[in-house]
Amino acid sequence: MSVLHEPALAWYADHARDLPWRRPESSAWSVLVSELMLQQTPVARVLPVHEAWLERWPEPAALAAEQPGAAVRAWGRLGYPRRALRLHAAAVAIRDRHGGQVPDDHAALLALPGVGEYTAAAVASFAFGRRHVVLDTNVRRVLARLVSGVELPAPSVTRAERELAGGLLPDDPGTAATWAVAVMELGALVCTARSPGCARCPVADRCAWRAAGHPAYDGPPRRAQAWAGTDRQCRGRLMAVVRDSEAAVPEHRLEAVWPEATQRDRALAGLLADGLLVRLPASDSPQGPLYALP
């Protein structure tokens, strides 16, 4: 066993957060839902939505039986609502192709709509105890510092990075799955991006970045995502109006929340193209076109 495994695993056993998708009784569906929700969204915001989602749709078939718009509405303000459509599409595929059970095979998971390499590896590992490289932002940052001696990893996953992570995986599948989540938790709670808690780190004495004196990141510029005034903010405002309404929304209500016509029209066109909204014919209402969830 690597000299890194024992201290990291012992730390995780003592410090792991009690999250519903990590509990022994949690289903693979709970894990899949959590992984989609946690993409670019903090745990604190995900917890209440995940709980409500599993209460309403405790298994994939229950969600698959509803229209996609129900998933978008239940998604609420988690952001990036296309993830709700992907989860609905995955639920339909699980019902139709896998008898309603989340598949335990990495290739079958990867074939589900909206499931990429990371999500497939995470579900196979965390739900089924399989041995896979699981590289999220936290894991990549921990391994970059611990082994490569740099503050932050490259903007996108490299082949060398994947090979490094694979070489560190314990041979035993169950231990490898625990190692994957332990490193993830270490990055979330201790080896954070802005304020790493080296004094609390169980592997600080083996950390190449610490040994090198914490050299600053010198790679390609990492741009912070803008929000105010962006198309993404506009899309969010428009979606909120339609999502929070029980009936279809006339166009003038959307104009009220985002007066700039060119950007509003561009955002609306994108929402329609993504399948997040549908436009009813103008003839259905004297107020003009109506917008609703799919």
Domains of the chain in sequence order: 231-292 (1.10.10.10)
244 C-beta neighbours (distance < 10 Å), count:
11
- At 136-174, the pLDDT tens digits run 999 999 999 999 999 999 989 999 999 999 999 999 999
Q: Would residue 35 show up in a list of annotated catalytic residues for this protein?
A: yes
pLDDT of residue 219: 77
Q: What is the mean pLDDT of the chain?
A: 93
pTM greater than 0.85 (yes/no): yes
Does residue 292 register a pLDDT over 90?
A: yes
d(CA 113, CA 175): 29
Which residue matches tokens 């991006």?
Answer: 193
Does residue 189 register a pLDDT over 80?
A: yes
Q: What value does the mean pLDDT take over residues 19-33? A: 97
List 35, 151, 161, 185, catalytic entry: 35
Give me the residues paired with residue 291 across strands.
249, 279
Does residue 259 register a pLDDT over 80?
A: yes
pLDDT of residue 1: 58
pLDDT of residue 220: 75
Give the Å distances, CA to CA, from 126 to 23, 177, 268.
Answer: 10, 6, 38
pLDDT of residue 57: 98
Question: Residue 222: pLDDT band by 50, 70, 90 thresholds?
Answer: low
Query: 7: burial class by Cβ within 10 Å (0-12, 13-18, 19+)?
Result: middle
